């Protein structure tokens, strides 16, 4: 809970009567009026500060330009993994380049063959173990969810029991408060009437 919140407003759903449609509509209209007067509309662009100018690095700027031009991404050059074509050239530099490409392709194909062998030997078991782990996590989460629901039900039952126990006292206190407020109003009315009588007598005697 945030440290800014220092009070907790506890509702009494099992004691307080359900508001009538007219009371609910009146409350909602007051809330809407308060929101309009206290905070601007979130959809109002005039109340928002201007957006700052973006500052991108050259790489991001080039990537955005590529996306805007709909140019295909060439992140990896796959041509070096392709088998070299037969060539009858005798140029040493060309032959050296072709030999390097052949070594690269052979290394890539050898690694891919090893990976496929490992996948064929252990892939099924790894997949089954992964599924078993996920199912175990799912069952644990379902048990935790069920436990949390039970705790919520227990809390709600305790709240209802406590509110039912103090419901009569709350109603008695409310009636006492109403009678006290009524007596205060009656006293103020009687005091005002007596003050008016005193003022009238003072005017008549003067």
Question: Could you read off the pLDDT of 22-40 as tens digits, one per residue?
Answer: 998 999 999 988 888 776 5
User: What predicted TM-score, i.e. pTM, was given to this entire model?
Assistant: 0.43
Place of tokens 């009538």: 20
Q: Is 121:114 a contact under the CB 8 Å cutoff?
A: no
Q: What is the DSSP letter of 25?
A: H
71: pLDDT strictly greater than 70: yes
More confident: 44 or 7: 44
pLDDT of residue 184: 95
41 φψ region: left (φ > 0), alpha (ψ -120 to 50), beta (else): beta
Q: Name the band, by pLDDT with cuts 50, 70 and 90, for residue 58.
A: very high
77: pLDDT strictly greater than 70: yes
Highest mean pLDDT among 20-24, 51-55, 94-98, 187-191: 187-191
Tell me the pLDDT tens digit for each residue of 104-162: 888 888 998 999 999 999 999 999 999 999 999 999 999 999 999 999 999 889 888 88
pLDDT of residue 44: 56
% pLDDT > 70, the chain = 83
Q: How far apart are CA 10 and CA 86, in angstroms?
A: 84
Q: How far apart are CA 117 and CA 115, in angstroms?
A: 5
pLDDT of residue 4: 40
């Amino acid at each position: 809970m945030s440290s800014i919140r220092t009070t907790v407003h506890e509702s009494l759903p099992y004691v307080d009567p359900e508001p009538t449609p007219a009371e609910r509509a009146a409350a909602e209209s007051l809330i809407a009026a308060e929101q309009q007067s206290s905070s601007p509309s979130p959809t109002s662009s005039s109340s928002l500060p201007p957006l700052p100018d973006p500052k991108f690095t050259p790489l991001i700027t080039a990537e955005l330009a590529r996306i805007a031009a709909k140019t295909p991404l060439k992140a990896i050059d796959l041509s070096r993994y392709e088998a070299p074509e037969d060539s009858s050239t005798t140029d040493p530099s060309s032959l050296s380049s072709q030999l390097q490409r052949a070594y690269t392709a052979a290394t890539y194909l050898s690694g891919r063959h090893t990976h496929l062998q490992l996948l064929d030997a252990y892939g099924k078991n790894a997949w089954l173990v992964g599924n078993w782990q996920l199912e175990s996590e799912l069952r644990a989460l379902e048990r935790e969810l069920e436990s949390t629901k039970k705790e919520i039900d227990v809390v709600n039952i305790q709240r209802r029991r406590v509110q039912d126990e103090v419901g009569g006292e709350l109603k008695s206190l409310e009636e006492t408060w109403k009678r006290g407020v009524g007596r205060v109003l009656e006293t103020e009315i009687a005091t005002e009437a007596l003050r008016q009588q005193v003022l009238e007598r003072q005017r008549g005697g003067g």
